[in-house]
Chain A
Amino acid sequence: MLESPRLRWLFKGVTLLLVLYVVIAGLTRTLPQVSTLGQTSRNLFFHVPMWFSMYLMMLLSLVWSIRYLLRDDADLDLKAREAARMGVFFGLLGLTTGMVWSRVTWGELLPASDPYAWWAWDPKQTMALAAVLIYLAYFILRSSVEEPRKRARLSAVYNVFAAAALFPLTYIIPRTVPSLHPGGADGNPINFRDSGIEYRFVFYPAVIAFMLLGLWVLELRVRQGRIQRHLSPDTE
């Protein structure tokens, strides 16, 4: 984490301002229509950044896990664990916000048997669920090993495989098959990029804002974990 307190508070100030901007502009600015989404297109600014933030957290977790395997430092294991935890949290938020959004907007694209389904078995949606489950298994693995160094080593190795699966599952596979999500192989009518540059004025800051917010919470969790480990070493 950053060492200089002033720099850290600068980051936190920027984070706050960005989040405020994204919320206010995201909800009130006039935006061009996207397909049949109506005002729900604003969810772009909140649902998608959840996944970007998850990618960031999992990447950090991977880096710390690899560094742990190179240098047996329990602090690296702690950071890898907390980053993975934040990633799972963002993933769960992404899944739930996605379900709410899709139930309302995918209606006509869903099978006639249940146009208001909460779960559409859409490829990207299902792969995202798979990814989150893979990372939940990371935590189950951790809780099953008693000895701290063995636990850290095993989970670091598992983390490498989990991270390797993340991008192919959630990004590559959904683009190769027909999908209800934008970007699938069948030229989905929902397309934000072609709808107008206005979305990008809020979307890019939104991705950064939620990433920064995630990093802020991560820092707090790591510091908390360090205190806990100080008070009772070797516990998970």
Chain B
Amino acid sequence: MLLLQAQNATDPTAYLFASDKIYTVLTVVLIILFGFITYLLLTNRRISRLEEELKTRKKQQGHS
């Protein structure tokens, strides 16, 4: 009750309170998911860089 009165009628986050607040759950899960995806992409990039580094080192050793 108090929450509703305190919120502006055109609160852009009103949807979070709708439908048994499922959209809040969804937002939480999406945040976690995007965090995990970011981790995957960063790890992917780190591994690619290591592979590149190893490849150039191999080449250098081959030539020397």
Q: Which of A's residues lie within 8 Å of B, judged by CB?
A: 16, 19-20, 23-24, 27-28, 39, 216-217, 220, 223-224, 227, 230
How many residues does chain B have at the interface if contact means C-beta atoms less than 8 Å apart? 17
A11 to B54, CA, bound (A): 26
Partner of B33, one of A20, A216, A223, A224: A20
Are the C-beta atoms of B51 and A223 separated by less than 8 Å?
A: yes
Cβ–Cβ < 8 Å partners of B20 in chain A: 39
| Shortest distance between the CB of A230 and any CB in chain B (Å) | 6
Are the C-beta atoms of A223 and B47 separated by less than 8 Å?
A: yes
| Shortest distance between the CB of B36 and any CB in chain A (Å) | 9
Are the C-beta atoms of A28 and B26 separated by less than 8 Å?
A: yes
Cβ–Cβ < 8 Å partners of A16 in chain B: 37
Are the C-beta atoms of B30 and A23 separated by less than 8 Å?
A: yes
Count A-B contacts at CB 8 Å: 34
- Chain B residue with the shortest CB-CB distance to A226: B51
- Does B3 sit at the interface, judged by CB under 8 A? no
Are the C-beta atoms of A24 and B47 separated by less than 8 Å?
A: no
Cβ–Cβ < 8 Å partners of A39 in chain B: 20, 22
Cβ–Cβ < 8 Å partners of B26 in chain A: 23-24, 27-28
| Shortest distance between the CB of B51 and any CB in chain A (Å) | 7
Are the C-beta atoms of A227 and B47 separated by less than 8 Å?
A: yes
| Shortest distance between the CB of A26 and any CB in chain B (Å) | 9
A19 to B37, CA, bound (A): 10
A233 to B25, CA, bound (A): 46
- Does B43 sit at the interface, judged by CB under 8 A? yes
Within 8 A of A (CB), among B26-58: 26, 29-30, 33, 37, 40, 43-44, 47, 50-51, 54
Do A230 and B54 contact each other (CB < 8 Å), given the known contacts A19-B33, A28-B23, A220-B47? yes
